Every structure is written in structure tokens, then in C-alpha cells.
């Protein structure tokens, strides 16, 4: 009986938590048309019900107010949930060092929604993350897309398989005995893709010849069902990625792209999509020639970019896309373009712009409530709403 009572109370509580909400703000950056000044957003059943200037708020809606509201931020590429905050062997699942080519590894089998960093990025406005296997293997595994709200992996997952994470660059050769050179890296990738291509052909005549799990995964890549997420930073690496994608007709997403600003024409011609390294990444190794102006130079040349939190091996253990976009803003991106790099641009790149990335009727009610200009150093995210539920609140009262 007592248990039943507790159960009904908790049911009641969870119902309240996802109750109808109205958010009023001085300015709402919808990322779909002009900002709405003195606007209101109505939220019902986890979705945006309405947005406008003179909406009447039904009496049963709980009202939140903010100076600025943006869509929940979308992180184009992270390893969060796989590269745990403690940075000890038991919480590092982003890279499997038993072999350099393991596209069959699924992110969903490792993702830890309870890692402290997941909560931390949520507090800083990130509501959707493209995460998964890391940088530093020819094919480290698959990626997935999750919401950062509290819940079990299956409950927070938007896409269990998003892309195949691949890397061209010195990190591969430092993680594995072979490949030891750039040329060998590409040779090994070509050999494996060719094998998958041949198996795909053979299976058209005889379905039993489809190949093993690895072959089948790579065939998804070859058929264009999954995008190839290739980490490449120097001009040489970027051109190798473009060449490889052309040879095997891969849908290419270039991650990092530190020297992307040197290859405007080539990137445009390749139609590759670009995820730019964290603006505050450390200039060294393959990223020696990075510039904080990269995102602005590419954007101004007409190449839409998304900014990622990427991967960090030490302190800080994760970057925060809101901060990285802020530094891109002070280095040449306009306010709107900076906000696009962490909202609608990655939503499109990830193929989830029907759900997230902008504030529009029918989309997921993912919102960040700020007490000022979101990019200003002294501004805080006071509340974060995911799928219509207030996940973080009163953060500005601390």
C-alpha cells in the first residue's frame, strides 16, 4: 500500500515536471527567421506548441522568464559519455587499441549517460550531442546521437548509429604499431573499403557472401546510408580524405579541418561537410597551423560549418561548444553565424533538423534560458529545458 502511494506520488511528480510550460524572454533567437523580441514560447507534451509575441498563456502553464532564449545547443562531434571525466582506464571507451580498423564497434554499447561531463555540458546549454568512438584510429567505430537529459541510454538516444568515425593523421600512428605513415594509412583504408565493395558485389549474386560484421558496416558507408566522419587537420590530410571519399563515393564529413581555411575551393568542390575543431584547441601536431579565425573564414567563403567540442585527453576533459563558438565570434563570426554553428548547422549535418536546432512549432522543446548575451563570458545558462522538461533550473541563483 505504502509502496503504491509512493509510486503514485512519483507518477504525479513526473507528470508535473513535464507539464505545460511557457517561456517568456526579452529576445528569442529561433534560428528560423528573425529573433522574436518580447516573445513567448509555449511547450506542450515535450514539443514547441507555439511561439510568438502576443501569445496568451493558458492558466495551467508554468511560466519561466529569461533575458535571452536560444534553441538547445547541438554539439556536432564529441566523445562525451565514452571518454569519462575521471580519465581512468575504466571510463575511457572512445578508442579500442586492439586494431586500427574496427568500424563495427557501436557507440551505444559504451555510452554512459551518467558521466559527470554529460551533466556538465547540459548545464552549459548542450542538449543534443553527436558522440561516440574517438579520434586516433583509421576507423575507431560508430557514433550516435543523444540528448543530454537524464535517463537510460535507450531513453536518451535519438540515433543509435550516426556515422563511422575515421581518422587520417599522426594520432593513428601513435596509437598503433601499423600504419606508421600517412601513405600506409590511406592504403589500409582503401584496401578495407575495396574488400567491402567486392563483398557487396558478390552478395548481389549470392547473399551469403555479404561478408562479416565489419564488411557489412563498411557497406553501409559505401551505400551512403552512413556518412564517413573523417578526422583530418592538415591540408595533406584533408585532401587525402577528399580523394578517398571521391574514389569510394562516400558522403564525407571532415572533422577538425584545422587547415580548412587554406582549401576553400577544394572543400567547396568536394561538397564535404565541415565540423571545425574547438576554437580554443591547442595548436600543435596536426593542428599546428590552426587559427581561431578558421570558422569565420570558411563561413564567409560560403561553407557552412559546425563547431564541435571534439576530444580532450586531459584537462579540461571536454570542451564546451557554447564557449568555443564564443571565441569564434570574437574572431570574426557574426553573432547569428556563431549561434548557427552550434544549433541549426549541426542539426542539418546530423540529419535531425526536423527535431532540433531551431525553435519552431512541432520541434522538440529544447531551450536554453540565459541571463544575458549567451556568448558573453559573464553570462550564465540559468535553465535548460530538454524535450519539454526542465532539466536544469535556478542555476543563476547559486
Partner 1 sequence: MRKCLLLLLTAVIYLSVHAQPNLVAFKGALIYTGTGRSIPNGVLIVQNGKVITVGDATTSIPANAQVVDMTGKVIMPGIVDTHSHIGGPEGGDRSSPLNPDIRVLDAVNPTSKAFKKALAGGLTTVNIMPGSGQLMSGQTIYVKLREATTIEDLLVTNERGVYGGIKMANGTNPMNGTPGYPGTRSKSAAMDRDLFMKAVEYKKKIDKAGKDSTKFPDRDLRMEPMVEVLNGKRIVHFHTHKANDILTVLRLQKEFGFRVVLHHVTEGYIVAKEIAAAKVPCSIINVDAPGGKAEAMNLWAGNGGVLEKAGVLTAIHTDDGITDSRLLLRSAAMSVRDGMSREEAIKSLTINGAKMLDLEKRVGSLEAGKDADFVILSGDPFSVYTHVLQTWVEGIKRFDLSNPADKAFAVGGYGVYSPDAVTHAHEDDHD
Q: Which spans of this chain sit near partner 1 (rule: CB under 8 A)?
A: 84-88, 116-117, 120-121, 259, 261-262, 280, 282-285, 288-293, 312-320, 323, 326-327, 329-331, 373, 375-380, 398
Q: Are strands 389-392 and 381-386 parallel, antiparallel or unpaired?
A: antiparallel
**Residue pointed to by grid coordinates 522543446:** 365
C-alpha dist (Å) from residue 169 to 175, 258, 316, 350: 11, 12, 23, 24
Which CB atom, from 191 or from 301, has the smaller least distance to partner 1?
301
Least distance between partner 1 and beta carbon 291 (Å): 4
Cell of 272: 564535404
CB closer to partner 1 out of 96 and 293:
293
* CA 289/CA 158 separation, integer angstroms: 35
Nearer to partner 1, 201 or 282 (CB): 282
User: 319 vs 389, which CB is nearer to partner 1?
Assistant: 319
Nearer to partner 1, 163 or 381 (CB): 381
Distance between CA atoms of 140 and 121, rounded to whole angstroms?
24
Cβ contact 140:171 at 8 Å: no
Q: What SS3 state is found at 384?
A: strand
Least distance to partner 1, CB of residue 313, Å:
8
Least distance between partner 1 and beta carbon 352 (Å): 24
User: 356: cis peptide before it, omega within 30°?
Assistant: no
340: CB partners within 8 A, 6+ apart:
31, 304
What cell numbers appear for 134 in the block? 574517438
- Bridge partners (DSSP) of residue 252 are 228
Smallest distance, Å, CB 289 to partner 1? 5
Q: Which is nearer to partner 1, 201 or 330 (CB)?
A: 330
Q: In the complex with partner 1, which residue's Cβ is closer, 216 or 291? A: 291
Minimum CB distance to partner 1, residue 52 (Å): 30
Q: How far is the CB of 193 from partner 1 (least distance, A)?
A: 31
- Give the nearest distance from C-beta 280 to partner 1 in angstroms: 6
With cell 511557457, the residue in question is 22
Does residue 234 contact residue 289 with C-beta atoms inside 8 Å?
A: yes
Amino acid at each position: 500500500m505504502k509502496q503504491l502511494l509512493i509510486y503514485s506520488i512519483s507518477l504525479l511528480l513526473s507528470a508535473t515536471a513535464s507539464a505545460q510550460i511557457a517561456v517568456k524572454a526579452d529576445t528569442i533567437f529561433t534560428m528560423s527567421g528573425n529573433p522574436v523580441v518580447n516573445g513567448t514560447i509555449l511547450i506542450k507534451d515535450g514539443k514547441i506548441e507555439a511561439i510568438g509575441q502576443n501569445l496568451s498563456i493558458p492558466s495551467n502553464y508554468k511560466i519561466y522568464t529569461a533575458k535571452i532564449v536560444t534553441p538547445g545547443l547541438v554539439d556536432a562531434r564529441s566523445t562525451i559519455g565514452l571518454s569519462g571525466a575521471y580519465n581512468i582506464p575504466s571510463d575511457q571507451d572512445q578508442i579500442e587499441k586492439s586494431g586500427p580498423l574496427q568500424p563495427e564497434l557501436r557507440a551505444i554499447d559504451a555510452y554512459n549517460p551518467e558521466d559527470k561531463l554529460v551533466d556538465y555540458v547540459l548545464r552549459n546549454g548542450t542538449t543534443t550531442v553527436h558522440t561516440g568512438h574517438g579520434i586516433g584510429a583509421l576507423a575507431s567505430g560508430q557514433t550516435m546521437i543523444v540528448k543530454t537529459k537524464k535517463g537510460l541510454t535507450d531513453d536518451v538516444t535519438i540515433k543509435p548509429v550516426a556515422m563511422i568515425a575515421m581518422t587520417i593523421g599522426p594520432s593513428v600512428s601513435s596509437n598503433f604499431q601499423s600504419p606508421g605513415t600517412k601513405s600506409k594509412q590511406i592504403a589500409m583504408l582503401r584496401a578495407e573499403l575495396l574488400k567491402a565493395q567486392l563483398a557487396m558485389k558478390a552478395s548481389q549474386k549470392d547473399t551469403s557472401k555479404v561478408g562479416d560484421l565489419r564488411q557489412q558496416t563498411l557497406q553501409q558507408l559505401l551505400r551512403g546510408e552512413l556518412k564517413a566522419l573523417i578526422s583530418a587537420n592538415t591540408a595533406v590530410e584533408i585532401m587525402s580524405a577528399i580523394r578517398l571519399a571521391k574514389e569510394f563515393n562516400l558522403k564525407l564529413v571532415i572533422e577538425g579541418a584545422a587547415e580548412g581555411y587554406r582549401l576553400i575551393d577544394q572543400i567547396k568542390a568536394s561538397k564535404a561537410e565541415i565540423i571545425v575543431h574547438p576554437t580554443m584547441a591547442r595548436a600543435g601536431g596536426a593542428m599546428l597551423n590552426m587559427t581561431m579565425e578558421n570558422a569565420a573564414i570558411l563561413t564567409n567563403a560560403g561553407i557552412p560549418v559546425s563547431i564541435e567540442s571534439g576530444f580532450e585527453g586531459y584537462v579540461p576533459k571536454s570542451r564546451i561548444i557554447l564557449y568555443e563558438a564564443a571565441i569564434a565570434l570574437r574572431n570574426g563570426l557574426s553573432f547569428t553565424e556563431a549561434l548557427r554553428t552550434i544549433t541549426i548547422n549541426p542539426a542539418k549535418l546530423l540529419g535531425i533538423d526536423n527535431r532540433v536546432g531551431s525553435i519552431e512549432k512541432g520541434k522538440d522543446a529544447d531551450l536554453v534560458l540565459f541571463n544575458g548575451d549567451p556568448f558573453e563570458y559573464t553570462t550564465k545558462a540559468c535553465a535548460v529545458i530538454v524535450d519539454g522538461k526542465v532539466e536544469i533550473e535556478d542555476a543563476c541563483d547559486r
